Structure 1
């Protein structure tokens, strides 16, 4: 019979492997979607392999730069549950890889992680 600590160690390793696998799957899926068509800025940033907090920060900054530079994405309508209201319709914008590269070229980040994401976005075009 395995000891309690050995079972815990095994359980923790399985959980860590499962989480890492889910992260790899998310990045691969986002990269495939970006290659096939226009997607949101968040999807483009996820495709670079950035973590969640970095993704949110870079996507917000890219939205600001896009608005300042007048880069317009393709409009799309989506339905989401928002504050308990089902099928709440939102207008979102989808960007091609070339548009994202143009936006990223204008973006001047300060943090090292943000600079790495910027370089990956420019290289992906």
Structure 2
């Protein structure tokens, strides 16, 4: 094999100075890749925190609604009221009940073991 050397310029052409060979530029891909991965991780972390915050807020609202649903309510004897799906019509009253008060079977209905226990009595034809 013969080695090829640069040929001198032909007669009549000016000689151009040789440009120095510069080393190729480094592409610095590693810092770019690490930066992109860090950015994606940060976006993922922020979205997870947002979803957890939304879920916690929804649970808090649900608990509050449940507490409001089970809160005691003022009821006037004889007036109609509705609690959830339970509807009580007007005309109801509170009476003493021998079974609810703990009276024994066959005992005098007026004798009560636990006075003060009351149950509501529903008008006939209404449940």
Q: Which has the higher helix share?
A: 1
Q: TM-score, normalised by structure 1?
A: 0.35
Q: Which has the higher strand share?
A: 1
Q: Which has the larger radius of gyration?
A: 2
